Structure 1
Amino acid sequence: MKSLHLNMYKKINYITAVLVLLASISVNAQVTTQSPYSKYGIGNLKGVLLPQFRAMGGISTAVNKPTGYNNINIQNPASYAGITSTTIDVGVAGTFTNLKKDGASENSFNGTLSHLALAFPVNQHSAVSFGILPYSELGYNFSNRQTVTGTPGNPSTSDVNNVYSGEGGLSKAYIGYGYRFGDHFRIGANMEYLFGNLIENRGVEFVNDPGAFATRLQNKNSIGGISFSYGAQYDVRLTSKMLLTFGYSGSSASTINSTRTFMASKYLYDGNTGEGNVTVETVDSIGSGKSNLKLPLIHNFGIALQKDNKWLIGADFRTGKWSSYAINGVNQGLQNSQGVSVGGQITPDITSINSYFKRVDYRLGFSYDKTYINISDQDVKQMAISFGLGLPLANSQTRGTFYKMNFTTELGRRGTMQSGTLQENYISVHLGFTLNDTWFKRFKFD
């Protein structure tokens, strides 16, 4: 008993240290993306996929447990019911972005903590999970120059920069529960808290008049509210080792509270250096404007076929009613989204002793989406190829402890070069660590 208490004390201290470290990094790091497309809606959606699912193109709705170890599948909370040991998953992500338009090109890189998720069984039929991860990212900075003609009495012209920028994003904290009925049917639900700030600026700078003040209008939306997601999975045992799974998950249409703040300011602009960030005077500021965001109804449908501890293939289809997205009752002009993912993984020999690489999970996938953005009557589409590895680390057979490192790379494109629109190419790298352990279990020997 003393040994059990000592081990539990060490594990609690370990979790506390990790949480404190992650919280301190989150507070001190400013995380943004560099994507003009994030200007629309609530930014670029990040999804709720951990690296092991992203590597398979994002299939997850019908995925429960491809191999013997436990995964946390936030996309479908029904999968929690299959979790049989305490599971922790934590990860980081980085994205290289290349923007192209009208012959011009620009590169950027951004990195962030990607997720922290925990799950543990409640009994033989159910489990609970909770964690935090990004939901959307907002980050852009671009301008266009135009020539303004004076009055008839003063026909001189002046060059003006119209500057647009944004930063921030939303995070999602969740707690969910999954329950299994019999051997084939699982259901589950998540209660989620969305929170964060969406900050957008619009400015005017007079290029040829160094004595003129530039102006900036800032719209800050501070968001915090509760939403719900849910899911179900049904297994059909084809043979003793072959399993076919059907899945559904969705997010309810939710109204999220927010507080809007408007601020108008003047600042100095240096036409020689192009810099102008020193605010001289705040002209006007209006705060505490209560508002709300109406988020859409989202559906995910999936199917997966697997040979236990050997391979898995599957497909997902998703749709979102983003045409109903509104701020304070005002429709934001988005369109409904649709997408599909296909992918899978193979593990050559999970029991191999002589070859480490036969115990590795090899993953590959493809995704295609018609996003909620439409510019000049053209749909902005996104596609990506993904691949990754699930690398088993040291484990303890006597205590049932298992570790795995999941590495994923996504090669994607958003938009096209047609009709002068923007093409965004990106390479995203995801790294996650998964721990399975039999906590809260009394061992006779230690």
Structure 2
Amino acid sequence: MIKKILLGSLMLLSLHSFAQESTASPYSFYGLGEVKFKGTVENKSMGGLGILPDSIHTNLQNPAALSALKLTLFSVAGTYNTQSLKTESASEKARRTSLDYIAMAFPAGKLGLTLGMMPYSSVGYKIRYESPTDVKDNKGKGGVNRVFVGAGYQLTSKISVGLDFGYNFGKIETTTAVFPVPAIQNGSRELNTSVLNGINFNAGAIYKTKIKKYDFITSATFSPEANIKSSNTRNTATITYDSQGNEIVIDPRDVSVADSDLKMPSKFSFGSGIGEIRKWFVGFETTFQGKREFGNAYAEKASFESSSKFSLGGYYVPNYNSFTNYFNKITYRGGLRYENTGLVVNSQSIKDRALTLGLGLPINGSFSNINIGFEFGKRGTTVANLVQENYFNVSVGLSFNDRWFVKRKYD
């Protein structure tokens, strides 16, 4: 009963938390916003490496890994993010807390099943442009969430395959207010709202074998191009402020604006690694994604290019079966990540690079665990009047494991 109450409470919490702003990046101004990491805290702590099948951890990046599950699993995670945003002449700080994912997974012989929810992208920015003639304030909030179901099946002792299906939905609101100078108390405001929905698929395969005493794993995933339908509305108005600084909207009007389709490009990833699964592992993964094409009727034009990501990471466990020293049972993780996001602003490709560290803390007397991840990264540049983001993320994931659907011999 306690588990059912906990699960229901977290599901309700997720619906609220996914709707909150989980980014303060000015680069979320473009397209669908800042695209979020798809994997778990364990994956993120290894530079984003998502090639490992595991009997007590879910893998949200490659559905083929689900076939390795031995226990029913419930996982949830959140991140506390601090950012230092700077240009050549100014700097700001921002903090955000977000729920990263909530998922359940079930073993069924050679088959593994999962379902859950996670954010696909997030929008959350406040940008001001000043010129001799006017001041322009841009604000945005919202994003796209993803509900998913997936399955993985073990074809042979060495090969597993999997497929997951996702329904993407959400709402993005952007506001542009322009005030003439010097009469800055009155201005015009344009509010654009986009309601988004669409589906996508992700297929994966994993090959696992032995090279002498070492485990060798190769992983691949492919997501075909998908569309998201965008139902757009626009409202314009004159705005002013009272003596207390409260906004007053004058003569709001709805303006007709066409709906549009946004293309999510195809994506392919490939990775390999080697190690002793209960002792250590090291691997790499590369991901390539096609050029994004976003045709929002109201969105500021941006340039996009094909994107790529390179991950290197692994883990070390001093003694998996230790009974006397708890620290020997901890999983120590680390990794590096380098990403070309595919966004081009002022002829500059926006890059994202990070160092990651993590701890897997087993809960004594069970197969459950607490996973903590740290990410030190930098996105963007101060060149060409752009913004450089130096960020630090602390992620905490809870993984509850139990043996369900077992007929008891004694009541």
Q: TM-score, normalised by structure 2?
A: 0.94
The change in CA–CA distance for 1:333 and 1:298 in structure 2 (over 3 A counts) is: same
Partner of 2:146: 172
* Residues 1:128 and 2:113 aligned together: yes
Q: Of the candidates 316, 322, 337, which is equivalent to residue 285 of structure 2?
A: 316
C-alpha distance in structure 2 between counterparts of 1:340 and 1:381, whole Å: 12
Counterpart of 1:144? 129
8 Å contact kept, 2:21–2:123 = no
1:394 Cα offset (Å): 2.8
Is the aligned partner of 1:107 residue 2:93? yes
What is the CA distance between 1:304 and its match in structure 2?
A: 1.6
* Residue of structure 1 aligned with 2:216, choices 233, 241, 244: 244
Asked if residue 281 in structure 1 is aligned to residue 251 in structure 2, the reply is: yes
**C-alpha contact 1:321 1:335 (8 A) present in aligned 2:** yes
Contact 2:260/2:295 (<8 A) preserved: no
Distance 1:57 1:132, change over 3 A: same
CA contact (8 A) 2:316 2:332 kept: yes
Residue matched to 1:74 = 60
Residue 234 (structure 1) aligns with: 207
Structure 1: distance between partners of 2:42 and 2:77: 11
Q: Gaps spanning 5+ residues in structure 1: where?
A: 1-8, 149-159, 397-401
Residue aligning to 1:91: 77
Answer yes or no: is the 8 Å Cα contact 2:64–2:160 preserved in 1.
yes
* Whole-Å separation in 2 of the counterparts to 1:254 and 1:161: 38
CA contact under 8 A between 2:125 and 2:139: conserved in structure 1? yes
**Which residue type is aligned with residue 88 of structure 2?**
D
**Aligned partners of 1:326 and 1:299: how far apart in 2?**
23
Correspondence for 2:365 among 395, 398, 401: 395
- Provide closer, same or farther for how the CA distance between residues 204 and 70 of structure 1 changes in structure 2, counting only shifts above 3 A: same
- Partner in structure 2 of residue 12 of structure 1: 4
Counterpart AA for 1:179: Y
Matched, 1:258 2:224: no
Using a 3 Å threshold, how does the CA distance of structure 1 residues 323 and 171 change in structure 2: closer, same or farther? closer
| TM-score under structure 1 length normalisation | 0.87
Quick check: 2:150–2:165 contact (8 Å CA) kept in 1?
Answer: yes
Superposed counterparts of 1:19-418, under 5 Å: 19-23=11-15, 25-26=16-17, 30-60=20-50, 62-65=51-54, 69-122=55-108, 124-148=109-133, 160-209=134-183, 213-239=186-212, 241-269=213-241, 277-286=247-256, 289-327=258-296, 333-396=303-366, 402-418=367-383
Provide the C-alpha distance between the structure 2 equivalents of 1:248 and 1:381, rounded to a whole number of angstroms.
24
Secondary structure of 1:322's partner?
Answer: coil
- Distance (Å, rounded) in 2 between the aligned partners of 1:358 and 1:70: 18
What is the CA distance between 1:49 and its match in structure 2?
Answer: 1.1
Render the CA deviation track for 1:146-191: whole Å, top value 9, x for unaligned: 113xxxxxxxxxxx10111111111111000111111010111111
- C-alpha RMSD of matched pairs (Å): 2.1
Match in the other structure for 1:440: 405
Relative to structure 1, is the Cα distance of residues 164 and 366 closer, same or farther in structure 2, using a 3 angstrom cutoff?
same
Q: CA deviation at 1:333?
A: 3.0
Counterpart-to-counterpart distance in 1, 2:7 and 2:340: 40
Structure 1 residue 424: Cα displacement: 0.7
Name which one, 1 or 2, has greater alpha-carbon Rg: 1
Distance in structure 2 (CA, Å) of the matches to 1:406 and 1:187:
26
How many angstroms does 1:18 deviate by? Answer: 3.2
What residue identity is the alignment partner of 2:316?
Answer: I
Moved over 6 A (4+): none
CA distance in 2, matches of 1:202, 1:215: 8
Structure 1 residue 22, shift from structure 2 partner: 3.6
Aligned 8 A contact 2:302 2:345 in 1: no
Identity of aligned pairs, percent? 29
Structure 2 unaligned residues grouped into runs of 5+: none
Does the CA contact (< 8 Å) of 2:190 and 2:237 recur in 1?
yes
Amino acid at match of 1:314: G
**1:32-81 CA distances to partner (integer Å, 9 max, x unpaired)?**
42111111121111121110110000010x2112xxx4211111011111
